Structure 1
Amino acid sequence: MCLFPIYVYSQRITINMSNHMPTITRLQERMTDARIRGDQMEAYKVTHELIDYMKRNNLKIYKSMLMPIAQFPIFLSWFGGLRGMTYLPVESMKTGGLLWFTDLTKCDPYFILPLFTASTMAFMLRWGSESMPLSSFNPKLRVFFMAMPVAVFFFTGWFPSALSVYWALSNTFSLIQFGFLRIPAVRKMLKIPERIQPPVPTGKKKGFFEGFKHNVDNTRLVSIIQERQRLDSLKFQNAGQGAVPKTYDYNPKDQKKVKQKQ
């Protein structure tokens, strides 16, 4: 509840960023194309356009990270405290559970709690993507987010039940919070902007792996071009500062040799 105001502020920032993402993406594509062509002037120009656009619309990426930064120390302290209590163990935790997990110091024998935790995390990522859709992230981040619930299941499967209960209840509370903030009247009262649906692309949409390969190839090509430009600049600098290369097989100032050559 204490973090709720931070979460609302983060939602405003994230949705604002999402609404401007199509324009940002177009500018980034122009910048990448300019770098691939080796047109540094155009790349600098588009870079300044992007910076100016983000300033005019108050788009600051670091502000969208306020909620995770605020949540991390709280989660870490609860996680460390509960784990320490189960490892001692605190005697009351051996019988303080319920249903099939009466002993909170041992892992869930049926893996129901880890599965519930992973499932609620998947819903959180899906509902959270209403403000910042997964399609707006680069392919590497999309793979990371989609694989996270599966990794969490295997990661938490052997946790003491106390940790699984805490994590499952925390996710459940977050889902309730998400649902509450999806109510139009609540969003209006809290001044959370509506997300603008981006226009549907007219061209052929690339598949996930095709898009990932395209981004990797572009990144590699830009690196190669930048390395070539760096070597060319270094050669030009050495040519200007080094000794004058010899272009005659004799000294043209020596009139005797000039007459002999003639």
Structure 2
Amino acid sequence: MISTHDLTGLPWWASIGICTVFLRVLIMTPMMVVQMRSNIKYQQYLHIFRALQQRLTTEINKVANEQHWDDSTKLLQYQLNLQRHRTKLMTKYKVPGVFKRYLLPWIQIPVWISMSISLRHLTLSLPLTNSLSPELLSVASQMSHEGCLWFSNLCLPDPFYVMPPLLGIINLSIIEIHRGDGKTKTVGFGKVLINTARTLSVLMIPIACYMPSGVVLYWLCSSTYGAFQALAFRSPNIRTFFRIPVSNMESKTPYRDLFIRLPFMGKRKL
């Protein structure tokens, strides 16, 4: 960040924005492409697996009636056969594991934490900052008057508390964009991840009120990029460009579905 500021000659608020976009384009966007491809493979497998479950249930019930199995034997036979078919399907369709299906958080969170700690260090707000070098003091001095608009001092919290609630709104919007049309029920680890993300988005608002504006500006830039990226990847043209297949179970009108789900559009029909 210091090199970007010195080489470009831009003020610190712009340097933070440029570094944020650079990291998102260089690291996060490719990770999102990999994650989306993995999730589509998993959804295709899941659709076949659920149909197999229904067929297997019918077959087991038929055999159980013929062989006069008790409930425990029927359940055991169902579980053994289901596990055998699941293993075959996962091998046949090369189903990606949980890590690949949720690759973005595993990469994004460490980068986000590292950038946040770095900016807190540069704004002298990190409690662990014991030694203040001349370079660090110079950077902090620059950041104190190279903000913009109402947050001219990047070393101090947002004086009008505008960015924290805006950050929360954008983060919650990203979650809803990733949910697509909202009709597909999220289960298992995906449901836990969504509910955790919602909770963290709300908790980030009071935390951001006490953080330096430079840190919150990074959070806001990163989330804004994430929102536009999520919207862009709803487009079939964008997905075709990145060779991301469109699942048959996905909506053909993604932007219309998102618009209908807006709070003030909930009861209107387009």
TM-score range, shorter chain: 0.5 to 0.7
Q: 1:170-213: per-residue Cα shift (whole Å, max 9, x none)?
A: 11112222233233222112211113328xxxxxxxxxxxxxxx
RMSD: 3.1
Matching residue within 48, 67, 74 for 2:111 = 74
Structure 2 CA distance for aligned equivalents of residues 97 and 190 of structure 1: 36
1:193 aligns with 2:193: no
Q: 1:97-123: per-residue Cα shift (whole Å, max 9, x none)?
A: 122211211211332111111111112
Q: TM-score, normalised by structure 2?
A: 0.62
Matching residue within 2, 12, 15 for 2:37 = 12
Provide closer, same or farther for how the CA distance between residues 41 and 13 of structure 1 changes in structure 2, counting only shifts above 3 A.
same
Structure 1 CA distance for aligned equivalents of residues 184 and 217 of structure 2: 28
List gaps (5 residues or longer) in structure 2. 1-24, 58-70, 126-136, 251-270
1:175 aligns with 2:227: yes
Matching residue within 48, 51, 63 for 2:84 = 48
Provide closer, same or farther for how the CA distance between residues 165 and 133 of structure 1 changes in structure 2, counting only shifts above 3 A.
farther
1:63 aligns with 2:88: no
Deviates more, 1:92-101 or 1:173-182: 173-182
Q: After TM superposition, list the pairs within 5 Å mapping 1:78-97 onto structure 2.
A: 78-87=115-124, 90-97=140-147
Structure 2 CA distance for aligned equivalents of residues 8 and 107 of structure 1: 35
The one-letter code matched in structure 1 to 2:42 is M
Q: After TM superposition, list the pairs within 5 Å mapping 1:79-228 onto structure 2.
A: 79-87=116-124, 90-130=140-180, 135-138=185-188, 140-197=192-249
Q: TM-score, normalised by structure 1?
A: 0.63
Provide closer, same or farther for how the CA distance between residues 194 and 129 of structure 1 changes in structure 2, counting only shifts above 3 A.
same
Using the TM superposition, give the Cα deviation of residue 8 of structure 1 relative to its aligned residue in structure 2, in angstroms: 1.3
Identity of aligned residues (%): 20
1:251 corresponds to which residue? Answer: none
List gaps (5 residues or longer) in structure 1. 32-36, 199-262
Provide closer, same or farther for how the CA distance between residues 63 and 25 of structure 1 changes in structure 2, counting only shifts above 3 A.
same
Structure 2 CA distance for aligned equivalents of residues 24 and 121 of structure 1: 33
Provide closer, same or farther for how the CA distance between residues 98 and 134 of structure 1 changes in structure 2, counting only shifts above 3 A.
farther
